[in-house]
Structure 1
């Protein structure tokens, strides 16, 4: 943030994005507090919590969106989810393009920071693909869900629920209009597979989707795309097996289900923590080992430049391969016949360590203010940071301070990559070089 000669404050692109994001949350809070947005009065803190959760596409709620909000209020939530998931500046660029005006360098730089790109080249093309892919995928999913839900709930409710959940799922928000989220559909392959397909596509990242669409050959794909595809398949498969084994004999989760329903439920609850936030079984009733494992999945999160949060899967993979390279005595990090630069490793470590520090601080504060089990508090904090939205059942009973802390963690989880990464990487390079010396570690 700098002051120019005229006295005006000049914001950097990351700072401007944060200001616009905060302003959108405030506007959303006022809309959700309107009398015709709710069926019963809600407090300002609950309106702020819901607006933040929607804009950060998290899904944590202190009031039930299906029973507390009117259809208008639910539309406001859906709109906040859409602009939060696809990006405020993406919509601004779309409006500029529709009006036929020229998109300047400033707008391109803002888009670059919003979509976590390394350069401004091709960002407008990426935005065009973003909207084409997103709206098309959401529309097709809405049609499929409506075939299921219109006969069950009627035309008006069935179409609206299909519309709302298609947006919520693709943007990895995790908002559902039923009190039990999607637990009533635990054995329904259509609902479970469509919803999971949506949030996996939304969470893998827009650059990956564009790369797949334009190149159509695995060999020609970028390293990032290959990492995301392989990493997503491995993590999802391993997580499904883990959840199935741990919860198989749990009478409150998988045990009452048939074999087919067990596999479907385990799969859904394994892929959902990658920042989607939907649940088809009772999260609070899961084994402690499952809750801790899901916390790790939520911390890792989805892909860069996606609708999801977390430190990002590619970040975790870079760190893992850095450790493996060190253990093998290598000075160069190799991955899929490509070498990873030192700056990428440093950036990955900076993101991971700063995230851990914030999570520890939030957990410590909530352990003082909330009368809840430690694991449930840790789960809630990581869920907020990863913009996941899964809860072990303590969100509704949070104190005022607890709600403020979770609001901050949701906000941090959404904009952290935009502020921390690019503020650090945009600094001028050090002109002075000092003598090197080893430090004892380990």
Structure 2
């Protein structure tokens, strides 16, 4: 009898720890989970067989942070410096960061034969930004199945172009890795020259951009589309996300073609019939996808500013993308329009946006601006010899988890690289954690007298 007591006590202690962990708020769990995976990834990248010539501890830490936050910035070239093992670690990490820590936590629990209690379901539901008390287990399974289906489908299509050129083994590996990287908005390429040689190829462009646009819509929107099948029956959130994504993509595409059509270093280097394909890639890739298809340092200033704006917006809520989110941007625009037209509340698609959503949207935008500008301010101070535009772009790219760079990442000081890592971490965790903390309305116990404040 006594021989069973230590085991029983161990099980009770483990269950008690799990119950205490589920009691933590979703922001705390999210930040802690990211920190743990960064530590694990750092140790794995530091192993001698993870790279050809060995990564320093600092390089391993930077690579792990960039991978888990689905940011393409890196001090090591995944194509040249990392071995197959290192590339697999990168892919696992950006899957965890892209699909969500809670998704992988639930899948792990289910794979081990465990069950998720009511407390765990509540935490997962809040972490996935779900307000309805539906079956979160079913939602997690749908997310995993959707990701696997789209990645395999995208890989199969890419293989038709890359297997004949690279052979079966290398072609299939390249196809699956890039399909997974695209869907998770990681922007990591293991091709020696990246996707630049194929950016104007219609097949590659359609598949890669289609994957990261779908991944950037958000699982809530995709699930809504699957259930309803008609635009008119979708929720207001889904309509705003779809409309915002379409408007941003098309308008950015037209502007990039207008800005860069005569630039000999970007679009003008191609034949006229190929330029719209490259322009499309340049227009949609900044919103968190981050694949380097052109050298952004030689693009014209309007294109660079437009790219920074798109990076800041990012993709959809509860998606593989980052940024302040398309729905947040749309709510701010609608609220501004309502104020300018003298309306009491913002409306769209014959629906009224709740005041709680308006307050949350403005809060996310203001705090995100403060965080990214503080990071950029410190970078400019620490890198006085670098061009301010290059440094600002690096800060926006890190915060938006876009992974795009003007070629200064490796040349920055360790202090600046540390700030970039903090921006990547805050950019992935901060807006999400902020949205989670603002998700539940709090009752007003004391109401003060209303007064006017002069604005403008």
Q: Where on the TM-score scale, by shorter chain, does this alignment land: which range? A: over 0.9
Q: 1:159 matched to which residue of 2?
A: 172
Deviations 1:136-168 (CA, angstroms, capped at 9, x unpaired)? 000011111112111111122111111211111
1:198 aligns to what? 211
Partner in structure 2 of residue 436 of structure 1: 450
Matches within 5 A, 1:363-442: 363-370=376-383, 371-426=385-440, 428-442=442-456
Aligned residue in 1 for 2:229:
216
Q: 1:207 aligns with which of 212, 220, 224?
A: 220
Deviations 1:57-99 (A, max 9, x none): 1111122111010000000000001111111221221233334
Q: 1:25 maps to which residue?
A: 38
Aligned residue number for residue 295 of structure 2: 282
Native 8 Å contact 2:174 2:191 kept in 1: no
Most deviating of 345-354 and 12-21: 12-21
**Partner SS for 1:420:** helix
List alignment gaps of at least 5 residues for structure 1: none
What CA deviation, in whole Å up to 9, does each residue of 1:281-306 have, x standing for no partner? Answer: 22111111100111000001100000
Unaligned runs of 5+ in 2: 1-16
Name which of structure 1's ranges 225-234 and 167-176 shifts more when overlaid on structure 2: 225-234
Residue 134 of structure 2 is matched in structure 1 by: 121
Q: 1:229 pairs with 235, 242, 248, which one?
A: 242
* Alignment root-mean-square deviation, CA: 1.8
Counterpart Cα distance in 2 of 1:116 and 1:60:
27
CA contact (8 A) 1:203 1:308 kept: yes
The aligned length equals 437
Cα offset, 1:421, TM superposition: 2.2
Matched, 1:74 2:87: yes
Shift of 1:120: 4.0
> Is the partner of 2:352 in helix, strand or coil?
strand
- Measured against aligned partners, the alpha-carbon deviations of 1:350-391 in whole angstroms (never above 9, x if no partner) come to 100000001111111101112321111111111111111111
Contact residue 286 and residue 311 of structure 2 kept, 8 A: yes
- The separation in 2 between residues aligned to 1:396 and 1:308, in whole angstroms, is 24
The farther-off stretch of 92-101 and 164-173 is 92-101
CA distance in 2, matches of 1:417, 1:367: 23
| Preserved CA contact (<8 Å) 2:236 2:349 | yes
SS in structure 2 opposite 1:260? coil
Counterpart secondary structure, 1:67: coil
Whole-angstrom CA distance in 2 between matches of 1:158 and 1:311: 36
Aligned to 2:144: 131
Asked whether the 8 Å contact 2:260–2:299 carries over to 1, the reply is yes
TM norm structure 2: 0.92
* C-alpha displacement of 1:178: 2.9
Contact 2:68 2:93 in 1 (8 A): yes
Structure 1 pair 187–425 and aligned structure 2 pair: CA distance change class (3 A): closer
SS of alignment partner, residue 325 of structure 1: helix
Please state how far the C-alpha of 1:9 moved relative to its aligned partner.
Answer: 12
